[in-house]
Structure 1
């Protein structure tokens, strides 16, 4: 679906993207992460055809975005958290009708999609409300519907849940999961809300100072750079505090003991159940936010850039010292 090889782009002599290579297959949902100024927006603008790179090869669905832009944009959708595609003074329904004509969506398909999106995104209460009167959560849901009315093959999401409350965020995440799973829409997600990444994308790419530093599975990133997993055990009664191999006691309060461990959970669970009768066991995975923060602040990937799947990323970071 997307193939990027040795992409370079600079502004006034300052590199924004340097030798970036990756590929995304049809139907994937990928998180594209990095601090502000890392090169995420430049990459997205090249992929949408808004920017022409200085060098490199870019193909999206077999098209070169900036050369075949008309055909290209007809096959993609985009939602940017700080911008809207809706007409400010028109009711949402009329904005969607206008977009139907822009994308030449057949009337039957428009009605079918509008019905489905109205149900999935709960648009009904504000379909006849002007965009200027919508809450942020309502506007984002309407923008998602607008971006997908024409059945695009590819969806770019840039900060789709920024500023939203917990309920609104989860509704949007559920919708994105649905269109990815049920309609096969390829999704490239850029966000600073790492809850979006944890709930939506198994694969992540991390870019910093214009260089792609990681391309692989999120669980592998957690295992390599994250904090330890936790095992929370409620024993029938307070157990003896004998040390167990591979387990560090973080907290011991009566019959409840909180351990830290790494690797698969089967061995630690076997050890604690052999120690004393157990009432309940919970395995707590580390949050991604502290992991990403450690990577950015400690420049961990700059020292040891990696890809867990070499076939995905052909720039093997040879230029990074």
Structure 2
């Protein structure tokens, strides 16, 4: 816990609403987050996943200091987020896909200059960061355009620059690529990767676009119905809960018996044979295949991450395997 930037222990958050008329004493209590614990080390980039209503947004609102939890302990960079908020927010950045921190009627440049004064960024440092981010995010063509006239992709790039101008240690991203085209999504992913790797910014990412997770995160946490179901390596998630991996082999000539130990022969079309396997490593399967007959080409197809996540939610695969 001592080297963690984010420390969460036994976090819970409940919401209560009155049922019936004005004088009714009946209340409905919803437990949005239910006793979750995790740590995030400085420099990590972690995907925080879950279906709508799982508790992701509530967790992020607690971590950014917008909500006070009902129970548990939270420390981010040594501070309690909902206490001493001025000092706390000076060390974090946040981007929420459907909301902007920029001034709607002002040009992007003037919004960023206002944020410079809000966060007391020294002028030389501001100019340096603005120049770097303008290059990485290609802000130049619309720096003098009012925010209200920007496309969604342009606004998202401007919001990313705004969130990082004051050089926070931690960046919260909530659906940063939602609604963007392929080119804009990839540009933003590249920028996020750059600030994580080159500037050491710790990133906690929530998204429904699983390609964001595959491209950016080595570690994922999965939450559902307020409970943390999985916390570990993305590769481990696929290995433990993914479907079959497939090996597609183009033989130069078919072996006498195309079956390979430890695999399932899925399809055969001329000299192309597809095998399914689960427990063995790809290297072991490839060694068996190439030992049996000459091979012209082969490729390993990994299970689809979206399919794996769907299997977890729909099949209750983690009921007895919570980590």
TM over 0.5: yes
* Residue deviations 1:205-235 (CA, integer Å, cap 9, x gap): 1111111111111111111110111111111
Alignment counterpart, residue 77 of structure 1, candidates 86, 90, 93: 93
The aligned residue for residue 199 of structure 2 is 183
Structure 2: segments with no counterpart, 5+ residues: 17-28
Using the alignment, how far apart are the partners of 1:227 and 1:185 within structure 2?
33
Alignment counterpart, residue 211 of structure 2, candidates 195, 216, 219: 195
Q: Write the mapping of 1:135-174 to structure 2, written as runs, cut at 5 A.
A: 135-174=151-190
* Residue deviations 1:65-94 (CA, integer Å, cap 9, x gap): 111211110100000010111111211111
Equivalent position SS for 1:249: strand
Alignment counterpart, residue 54 of structure 1, candidates 70, 75, 80: 70
Shift of 1:42: 0.8
Using the alignment, how far apart are the partners of 1:305 and 1:61 within structure 2?
30
Equivalent position SS for 1:300: coil
* Residue deviations 1:115-139 (CA, integer Å, cap 9, x gap): 1111111111111111111111111
1:256 aligns with 2:260: no
The aligned residue for residue 289 of structure 2 is 272
Using the alignment, how far apart are the partners of 2:71 and 2:123 within structure 1?
42
Shift of 1:237: 3.3
Contact 2:228 2:322 in 1 (8 A): no
Contact 1:233 1:258 in 2 (8 A): yes
What TM-score results when the alignment is normalised by the length of structure 1? 0.93
Contact 1:239 1:255 in 2 (8 A): no
The aligned residue for residue 94 of structure 1 is 110
Using the alignment, how far apart are the partners of 1:103 and 1:16 within structure 2?
32
Alignment counterpart, residue 107 of structure 1, candidates 114, 120, 123: 123
Equivalent position SS for 1:49: coil
Using the alignment, how far apart are the partners of 2:225 and 2:247 within structure 1?
37
**Moved runs in structure 1, 4+ residues, more than 2 A?**
237-242
Equivalent position SS for 1:19: strand
* Residue deviations 1:154-205 (CA, integer Å, cap 9, x gap): 0000000111111111111111111001111010001111111111111111
Alignment counterpart, residue 260 of structure 2, candidates 236, 244, 248: 244
Contact 1:7 1:56 in 2 (8 A): yes
Contact 2:219 2:233 in 1 (8 A): yes
Relative contact order (alpha carbons < 8 A, sep ≥ 6): 1 or 2 greater?
1
Shift of 1:242: 3.1
1:39 aligns with 2:43: no
Equivalent position SS for 1:306: coil
Structure 1: segments with no counterpart, 5+ residues: 308-321
The aligned residue for residue 19 of structure 1 is 35
Contact 1:26 1:186 in 2 (8 A): yes
Equivalent position SS for 1:266: helix
Using the alignment, how far apart are the partners of 2:105 and 2:38 within structure 1?
41
